[in-house]
Amino acid sequence: MSRSPIRDTRARRTTGRPENYNNAAWLGVLPVLLVVAFSAVIPLMTVVNYSVQDILDFDSRFFVGFDWFRETLRDARFIDALQRQLLFSGAVLALEIPLGIAVARGMPRNSAATSGLLILLAIPLLVPWNVVGTIWQIFARPDIGLLGVTVNSLGISYNYAADSTDAWITLLAMDVWHWTSLVALLAFAGLSAIPRANYDAATLDGASSWQIFRFVELPKLWGVLVIAILLRLMDSLMIYTEPFVLTGGGPGSSTTFLSQHLTTMAVGQFDLGPAAAFSLLYFLLNLLLCYLFYTSVVQRPDE
């Protein structure tokens, strides 16, 4: 009468699908769906409604179809901000992921210093964004900042408020300072889960340090690295406060990323329609990048 687990497994193997497969349990997530609807879906719908109208005030609005999308997509400022955004996010990942792994590999495991180091690493993560921006704004100032004055006294001309390359370097250094710890902590957690015996076996086989990393550590790290890359990708795509405090998008518009440009439109000029169209394009881009990334790493062919 009652079916044993073993027979269930056999049924799955032979037919390719369990006989009593049922999706009804998914209905259990309905309450969560309601909360998400209230906090995200309904506001998003409102943005969609705004994006197809010219809104003059609360009672006079006109349907304009896709005009705002057409205008935004052909706006040179939007395209430039998008390119800067992608460049910035790419640079952030290219710098922080390898650096974070390197830091995690260099940390001692199971020693007295480990917990102290972990706390030290976590400190930058606790600093709020606007404080990080302020710290770096002063630290890098060419007239009174420690970093700015030191670099200039070495004979290298450096001024993040006047030179766009300097502004980019400062922004990237700030982001690395703020967030590499996150990657390092995640990677350290992943490394700690690797049994000592795996290392011993690799050493006995005469594996080099690179081979140990590539064939012993990296496969086990993959899961946490996916999370680290996703978190850094999403966060860097949304970055607003730090560049706003440090450079204000300048010099010129050389560090104006998407969020900064959007804020100018939505809050500065109160152009609700164009800003809504912009937000939806921004949202779809983030959704696509995160989905592509997530599926491509979750569905690796060798799993």
Partner 1 sequence: MGALPSLHWMAWTQPTALFFVGIGCCLIALTIAELRSPSLSRRGFLPLDTTRGDRFFISLLVAGFAHIAWVGLTDLPVWWMSVGVLGSTLLIMRNG
Which positions touch partner 1 (CB under 8 A)? 16-17, 21-24, 26, 42, 45-46, 48-50, 52-53, 55, 61, 63, 65-66, 69-70, 73-74, 281, 284, 287-288, 291, 295-296, 299
Smallest distance from partner 1 to CB 198, Å = 29
**Which residue's CB is nearer to partner 1, number 69 or number 188?**
69
**Which residue's CB is nearer to partner 1, number 65 or number 195?**
65
Cα-Cα-Cα-Cα dihedral sign, residues 160, 163, 166, 167: positive
The pair of three-digit structure tokens given for residue 167, joined into one six-digit string: 């502004």
Tokens 């032979």: give the residue: 14
Smallest distance from partner 1 to CB 87, Å = 20
Ranges of H-type helices in the chain: 5-15, 30-36, 42-51, 67-73, 76-106, 112-126, 129-139, 146-153, 164-192, 196-204, 209-211, 218-237, 241-246, 258-263, 272-298
Q: What are phi and psi of 2, to 5 degrees?
A: -90, 145
Smallest distance from partner 1 to CB 62, Å = 10
**Which residue's CB is nearer to partner 1, number 63 or number 270?**
63
Contact 256, 79 (CB under 8 A): no
Spatial separation of the C-alpha atoms in residues 207 and 201, rounded to whole Å:
9
**Measuring CA to CA, how many Å separate 153 from each of 29, 144, 149, 165, 203?**
61, 12, 6, 19, 48
Smallest distance from partner 1 to CB 93, Å = 22
**Which residue's CB is nearer to partner 1, number 56 or number 201?**
56
**Which residue's CB is nearer to partner 1, number 210 or number 270?**
270
**Which residue's CB is nearer to partner 1, number 64 or number 238?**
64
**Measuring CA to CA, how many Å separate 3 from each of 14, 22, 164, 262, 295?**
16, 16, 69, 59, 35
**Which residue's CB is nearer to partner 1, number 74 or number 196?**
74
